[in-house]
């Protein structure tokens, strides 16, 4: 359906329309949609309405839909042959403090030149308004050049990604029938590097638990009781230490039972990425990988589960010294999971392990802090193959498949609530300063991002 | 020199003078000598002057001597045959907050009846004004009944014991020649129980160190870095866990090298004390001793060194959860030492052990928080034997030798600055509520405490 000629026409439309696309981006960037601060609730509403209006102008059935928090914009293009995609991005932005570190007004976007590249500077330029508009402007170009989109497109654009996003999952559940599609597309990630487009297909899951070890019923004096009384700091340290073997692996029984090895093809592709372990660790003043010694750093980060002690505290931690044996000590512990691992099973194994280490006169209190499974998009699917080919065509360099050590909750919700796999395609760069002063988006990211979506939509129509 | 008849005369003098002794105690208790609060500096001065004047009245060459803080009262009796003792106590008291929990004015002493016993209720009644006056009133009785003290007596009474006592060691060093004696006496401890007097001859020492483990140069996101980046919480926990073996012993190389076994005699005597391990631990809701499993609780507390984690902190410890890998984690760790152990050697062994556990890209910062050796008074000394006999005569029950798990810095300073052993003899009880509202001292402790010192002074004159 989408011939090379057609694609070329749409791409020309992108190029000639770029200034107008930038004007629209600037209009959206000027809206102070800081979701975490109630003072900007009206601005969030304004941003949602602005987007809905734009989408209506492109022929979408679009509306800013109410939630207990900020609106969710939902838009549906006309029924159409080919697959049905559900595109996700978010219109809210981070606060701008500390304002004095900004070189320009964060809500008065500018194009400036830096290191020989043109960049768009504004809060939200990269995260996520710029990325969001690459998709919308690609739809606009298709419409302008051909009168229609090449496939069926719906959009779900939220306004609480930067502030916890508690209202989105219930909204998705309530509107699950309406939101069903064949695949989800998310534009909120980076390219591999300036030359290489990428699709993220593996996201680690997360189990977070807090444990509090309770020994004596009051703080004790270590002169009076030291040796005889159980010190919960010591016991907590022993529990934590027991979670990792000397080879860096996690010791919980069954922890790796459901962990699959990555395919030889993916392993080879990752090896070909030329990831610089020394540079990655050196950037934060480290030199030695801490995890499983038999695995590469990239594998440790993208394809292997981990156990991390995110916080621990017990006893006297102020200035000076107090010879106390505390009654309690606690830790916040999380497990990043990979595909196949069941969060409930991992949590149960962790708790059983802790309980087995307790002397009879010591108790533990567990407080769960959420759990979500890892996400893996099948690496041999048609959608993935088509999207990779679209990206490769645009950038002239083979698009790569990457993992991510982090968790993006909405991807889990697409799977669990809507049954959808997700393709994470983005054009941001690690130096975009998202969440920081002087956030920017490369003009090239915006322009070729739009072009990339034109090609991906065309490829998905094959 | 002190015949039984002489002793009986002095004891009669104590009994007939008890009301006058109490009046003097009440006068001292009315002075609000709270050393930690600068608002009471004049009261501390007043208490010191009051004591110096009383001692002058007993024929002592006495003065409240200035320090950068509160005065130290130093008094010397006339040269005299027999040994020369240096008596120590402190005239300062703890603050009285929370005042509303007191049943009577903390600085208006009362004698009330409780559980069939008469008790003196006031701040400082037990800690340490009441205990201090047992000795001074014993001197008064000797003077009144015989015209002289039976041995040579000096006193050093400080006013900063409850507020850090930083000025006493320099004062002792400056006046070391003047303060030299044959033995130090300290009245600031408990009886074993209401029937059994005791002398504390073993005090544990202390080495306190703070360690900070420094990995990356900034806090990291556990999604981005988890597995690959060293987590200092994990490493600190592994270090702490490595300090104790499964049998409860401390693992530092050489830690027990200089630790002597207690003598079979002392072991037998301690066994005879009938110490109730279950009750001791049960009082703080514990049931199992945590230290060396082959040792009794009393031995663990009095005669065995320990390693305690007094505080530890790292990463996010507020409400909720943050998936951070912190750059740093720290712990406050102390070792209680027993006789023979060298604080410097233990500190060096600890630091070497920590450093040996660090990967090359992790550093540690050590901050020392003081160190003092353990104190042991030779159990076969003449002074100890004589003092035990005096106490046994007064209470009609064999006085016992006890240890203490804690450290009393002045006892170390008597040894290190003045070369003196110390006999710790006191008449307080564990229910005296020292440092708490409604502090009390049993009238029996005061009365028979004075009588005990009369006998101990007589016995030391033999």
Q: For chain A, give the number of residues.
A: 462
Torsion angle (degrees, nearest 10) of CA A270, A276, A278, A281? -70
Contacts of A282 (CB under 8 A, 6+ apart): none
Tell me what pLDDT residue B406 has: 80
Tell me what pLDDT residue A364 has: 98
Which domains are present in chain A?
4-203+374-460 (3.40.630.10), 205-259+305-372 (3.30.70.360)
CB B337 within 8 A of CB B305: yes
Residue B120 to residue B126: CA distance in whole angstroms? 9
CB B284 within 8 A of CB B291: no
How many degrees, rounded to 5, is the angle at CA A433 between CA A201 and CA A72? 60
ipTM: 0.82
Chain A residue numbers touching B314 (CB-CB < 8 A): 309, 311-313
Q: β-strands B205-214, B363-372: how paired? A: antiparallel
Torsion angle (degrees, nearest 10) of CA B21, B25, B30, B31? 120
Chain B residue numbers touching A225 (CB-CB < 8 A): 284, 301, 405
> For residue range A385-434, what is the model confidence (pLDDT) as tens digits?
999 999 999 999 999 999 888 878 899 899 999 999 999 999 999 889 88
Q: Among partner residues A284, A323, A406, which is closest to B218 by beta-carbon distance?
A: A284
Chain A residue numbers touching B227 (CB-CB < 8 A): 248, 289-292, 300-301, 304, 306, 336, 405
State how far residue A54 is from chain B, nearest Cα, in angstroms.
35
Residue B46 φ/ψ region, left for φ over 0, alpha for ψ in the -120 to 50 degree band, beta for the rest: alpha
Tell me what pLDDT residue A431 has: 86
Nearest to A18 by CA among A30, A29, A26, A7: A26
Element (H, E) at A297: helix A297-302
Instruction: List, for chain B, all residue ranges whose pLDDT scores fall below the cut of 50.
Output: none
CB B30 within 8 A of CB B109: yes
CB B214 within 8 A of CB B271: no
Q: Among partner residues A222, A288, A312, which is closest to B315 by beta-carbon distance?
A: A312
State how far residue A308 is from chain B, nearest Cα, in angstroms.
7
Q: Among partner residues A284, A291, A309, which is closest to B315 by beta-carbon distance?
A: A309
Q: Cβ separation of A313 and B312 shorter than 8 Å?
A: yes
> For residue range A241-297, what is the model confidence (pLDDT) as tens digits?
999 999 999 999 999 999 999 889 888 989 888 899 999 999 889 999 999 999 999
Q: Cβ separation of B208 and A323 shorter than 8 Å?
A: yes
Chain B residue numbers touching A224 (CB-CB < 8 A): 301, 405-406
CB pairs under 8 A between A and B: 281
Q: Cβ separation of A369 and B234 shorter than 8 Å?
A: no
Q: Among partner residues B228, B288, B324, which is closest to A301 by beta-carbon distance?
A: B228
Tell me what pLDDT residue A166 has: 85
Which residue of chain B has the CA closest to A223? B406
> For residue range A137-148, what is the model confidence (pLDDT) as tens digits?
999 999 999 999
Q: Cβ separation of A405 and B230 shorter than 8 Å?
A: no
Compute the mean pLDDT over every residue in chain B, rounded to the nearest whole number: 94
Q: Cβ separation of B230 and A288 shorter than 8 Å?
A: yes
Chain B residue numbers touching A301 (CB-CB < 8 A): 224-228
Residue A216 to residue A326: CA distance in whole angstroms? 8
> For residue range B295-345, what is the model confidence (pLDDT) as tens digits?
999 999 999 999 999 999 999 998 888 888 999 999 999 999 998 999 999
Which residue of chain B has the CA closest to A282? B216
Contacts of A105 (CB under 8 A, 6+ apart): none
> For residue range A13-36, what is the model confidence (pLDDT) as tens digits?
999 999 999 999 999 999 999 998
Q: Cβ separation of B313 and A308 shorter than 8 Å?
A: no
**CA B423 vs CA A372, B199, B459: distances in Å:** 65, 7, 14
> Residues A283, A284, A285, A290: is their CA dihedral positive or negative?
negative
The answer, yes or no, to whether residue A1 has pLDDT greater than 60, is no
Pick the residue of A309, A316, A404, A424 with the most B CBs within 10 A to test the interface with B by mutation: A309
Tell me what pLDDT residue B282 has: 94
Contacts of A414 (CB under 8 A, 6+ apart): A86, A88, A184, A420, A421, A422
Contacts of A190 (CB under 8 A, 6+ apart): A198, A426, A427, A428, A429, A430
Q: What is the percentage of chain A residues whose pLDDT exceeds 70?
A: 100
Compute the mean pLDDT over every residue in chain A, rounded to the nearest whole number: 94
Q: Quick count: other Cβ atoms within 10 Å of Cβ B429?
A: 21
Tell me what pLDDT residue A28 has: 98
Contacts of B282 (CB under 8 A, 6+ apart): none
CB B416 within 8 A of CB B343: no
CB A106 within 8 A of CB A123: yes
Residue A420 to residue A181: CA distance in whole angstroms? 7
Give the pLDDT band (50/70/90) at residue A155: very high
Give the pLDDT band (50/70/90) at residue A80: confident
Nearest to B362 by CA among B231, B189, B184, B195: B231
Nearest to B60 by CA among B48, B72, B68, B52: B52
Q: Among partner residues A208, A287, A308, which is closest to B361 by beta-carbon distance?
A: A287
Residue A431 to residue A439: CA distance in whole angstroms? 9
State how far residue A315 is from chain B, nearest Cα, in angstroms.
4
Chain B residue numbers touching A229 (CB-CB < 8 A): 281, 284, 286, 290
Tell me what pLDDT residue B251 has: 97
Tell me what pLDDT residue B59 has: 96
> For residue range A213-244, what is the model confidence (pLDDT) as tens digits?
999 998 888 888 999 999 999 999 999 999 99
The answer, yes or no, to whether residue A100 has pLDDT greater than 60, is yes
Tell me what pLDDT residue A320 has: 83
Tell me what pLDDT residue B221 has: 85
């Amino acid at each position: 359906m989408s011939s090379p000629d057609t694609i070329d026409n749409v791409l020309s439309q992108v190029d000639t329309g770029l200034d107008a696309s930038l004007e629209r981006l600037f209009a959206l960037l000027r809206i102070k949609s800081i979701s975490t601060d109630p003072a900007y609730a009206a601005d969030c509403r304004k941003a949602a309405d602005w987007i809905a209006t734009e989408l209506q102008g492109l022929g979408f059935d679009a509306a800013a839909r109410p939630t207990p928090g900020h609106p969710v914009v939902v838009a549906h293009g006309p029924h159409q042959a080919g697959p049905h995609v559900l595109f996700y991005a978010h219109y809210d932005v981070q606060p701008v403090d500390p304002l004095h570190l900004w070189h320009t007004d964060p809500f008065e976007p500018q194009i400036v030149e830096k290191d020989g590249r043109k960049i768009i500077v504004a809060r939200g330029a990269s995260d996520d308004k710029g990325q969001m508009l690459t998709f919308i402007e690609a739809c606009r170009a298709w419409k302008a050049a051909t009168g229609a989109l090449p496939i069926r497109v719906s959009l779900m654009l939220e306004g609480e990604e930067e502030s916890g996003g508690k209202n989105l999952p219930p909204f998705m559940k309530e509107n699950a029938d309406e939101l069903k599609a064949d695949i989800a597309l998310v534009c909120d990630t980076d390219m591999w590097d300036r030359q290489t487009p990428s699709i993220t297909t593996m996201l680690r899951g997360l189990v977070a638990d807090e444990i509090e070890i309770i020994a004596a019923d009051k703080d004790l004096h270590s002169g009076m009781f030291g040796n005889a009384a159980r010190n919960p700091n010591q016991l907590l340290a022993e529990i934590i230490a027991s979670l990792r073997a000397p080879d860096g692996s996690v010791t919980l029984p069954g922890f790796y039972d459901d962990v699959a090895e990555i395919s030889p093809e993916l392993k080879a592709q990752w090896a070909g990425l030329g990831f610089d372990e020394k540079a990655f660790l050196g950037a934060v003043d480290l030199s030695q990988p801490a995890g499983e010694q038999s695995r590469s750093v990239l594998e440790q980060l993208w394809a292997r589960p981990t156990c991390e002690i995110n916080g621990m505290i017990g006893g006297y931690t102020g200035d000076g010294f107090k010879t106390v044996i505390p009654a309690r000590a606690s830790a916040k512990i999380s497990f990043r999971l990979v595909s196949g691992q069941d969060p409930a099973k991992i949590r149960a194994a962790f708790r059983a392990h802790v309980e087995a280490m307790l002397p009879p006169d010591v108790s533990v209190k567990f407080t769960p802090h959420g759990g979500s499974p890892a996400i893996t998009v099948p690496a041999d699917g048609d959608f993935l193959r088509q999207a990779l080919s679209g990206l490769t065509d645009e950038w002239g360099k083979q698009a790569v498949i990457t993992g991510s050590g982090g968790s993006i909750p909405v991807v889990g919700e697409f799977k669990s609530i809507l049954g959808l796999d997700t393709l994470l395609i983005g054009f941001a760069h690690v130096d975009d300063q998202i969440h920081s002063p002087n956030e920017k988006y490369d003009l090239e990211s915006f322009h070729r991002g739009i072009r990339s979506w034109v090609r991906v939509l065309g490829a998905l129509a094959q």
